[in-house]
Amino acid sequence: MKVGIDAASFDIPKIYLPIKDLALARNIEPEKLEKGLGLLKMSFPDVHQDVVVFAANALRKLIFQENLKPEDIARIYVGTESGIDSSKPIGSFLLPLLEDYYGAGSMEHCDVVDLTFACIGGVDALHNCLDFLRVNPNKKAIVICTDFAKYDLNSTGEYTQGAGAIAILLSSNPRIISIDNNIGISTQGVFDFFKPKRSLNKKEVTGKENNPEWFGVLENEIDLFKEQPVFEGQYSNSCYQNRLKGAYFQLKKLLNYEGSLYNAWKNIIVHLPYSFQGRRMFSEIYALDSNLKDSLPTDYDLYAERLKEIGKSAEYKTLVKEKFSPAEIASSDIGNMYTGSIFMGLLSTLYYHFKNNSEIKGEKFGFLAYGSGSKSKAFEGIVESEWKSQTEKIKLFETIKDSKPIDLDAYHALHKKELKKSIISPCNEYILDKIEKNDPNLLGARFYKYI
């Protein structure tokens, strides 16, 4: 029995900052970001948007697109690293919004949960739900990946920001792509990228020695949380490269595959924190899984130089164009979507083939997922017979094209949360309506509505 992706939808911000504008403001040569990293636009949430809003909008589009009924949806699993509460999952925010549409109590028997492992949480949700469908083939599940990749102003991660959500409908006998149950996994507990709780001594805030109550905080320490991560770029790249390598070769072993596994894949879909990350990091796997393996020196520095040479070769550039570039198109115009990045790469690849009238039924895609902390999963999917009609519904490139540019001042004001009014007035979409500030039993509760 086949299980996999039956339908998909997405939601992204309607505004973006041109990467060229950011580069010039940060004294970076624009070509370094545009042609070196593949970055063109950086999507950014408007005042009324957050990760629940993106998830709710993507989910609503999927429901209308596929005419889903409450009884069709057995579970909604959310992959995210942008949770808005330390206890209440994003999935639980979505249920009342669905019941506003379907009716009170209509979603009572739907299982919801959030899964968090940096950028791979959505893939973890995918595999969990696929296992559920293998046992319950008459059920359907929805996986939603929703995130806001926010970095400090003037940091080395600033130009990789992005936001949005992907909603995918999973079923048996899927119309888009069936997913194989062989999964290569590589995991290591590291600190390449993380979002810790940080603490301040209360005296640093109040200026007083005797630990007075401060906005309900009785402890002598005040916990702080920032959306922006702690990270080390080069180390994170190294972890990414090593984990992908470990997962790739474990998958090859599981499949008992002879020859270069990547040659069996029509396209390669990877996690893209920036558009060209996959092509820049894959050269080692390419060399190790080919007749180039014996040309790699044992000396670390010489090894790195040899990989650079291989990455610049005509043969490797051809592989990149054929296998990686279709997934990079959307990433260049959206930015990093964290958990949704690999799935947006899939949608971008499918839509590229749709627009070019390619016939890819029966072709195999290779997936290389990554989440900091760190873990990679490698797996395969086969394109199914109705991929084209299902892909056409998504309107991916047209929706991206409709986004509106903002200037640097507006971007700074949004980043610092100084704006009170949305840049583009919301219409026919969910919004963050209010955050409760008075009722002690609901203090901090977030409320959403469709307008």
Domain parsing of the chain, residue ranges:
3-194+226-450
User: Using CA atoms, how far apart are residues 60 and 94, in angstroms rounded to an integer?
Assistant: 10
Q: Residue 415: phi, psi to the nearest 5?
A: -60, -40
* R_g (Cα) of the chain, nearest Å: 22
Q: Which residues contact 120 (CB under 8 A, 6 or more apart)?
A: 79, 271, 339, 369, 370, 371, 375, 376, 377
Nearest one of 223, 156, 219, 168 to 195, comparing CA atoms: 223
Nearest one of 158, 167, 122 to 42, comparing CA atoms: 158
Sequence-ordered alpha helix ranges (H) in 136-272: 203-206, 233-255
Residue 294 and residue 391 in contact, taking contact as beta carbons nearer than 8 Å: no
Q: HEC states along 96-160?
A: HHHHHHHCCCCCCCCEEEEECECECHHHHHHHHHHHHHHHCCCCCEEEEEEEEECCCCCCCCHHH
User: Using CA atoms, how far apart are residues 5 and 449, in angstroms rounded to an integer?
Assistant: 29
Per-residue pLDDT of the chain (451 residues; tens, 9 = 90+): 999 999 999 999 999 999 999 999 999 999 999 999 999 999 999 999 999 999 999 999 999 999 999 999 999 999 999 999 999 999 999 999 999 999 999 999 999 999 999 999 999 999 999 999 999 999 999 999 999 999 999 999 999 999 999 999 999 999 999 999 999 999 999 999 999 999 999 999 899 888 889 988 999 999 988 999 999 999 999 999 999 999 999 999 999 999 999 999 999 999 999 999 999 999 999 999 999 999 999 999 999 999 999 999 999 999 999 999 999 999 999 999 999 999 999 999 999 999 999 999 999 999 999 999 999 999 999 999 999 999 999 999 999 999 999 999 999 999 999 999 999 999 999 999 999 999 999 999 999 999 9
For 3-194+226-450, CATH gives 3.40.47.10
Q: Residue 299: phi, psi to the nearest 5?
A: -65, 135
Sole residue written with tokens 């100084």:
418
Return the sign of the alpha-carbon dihedral for residues 337, 341, 345, 350.
negative
Identify whether 178 is preceded by a cis peptide bond (ω within 30 of 0).
Answer: no
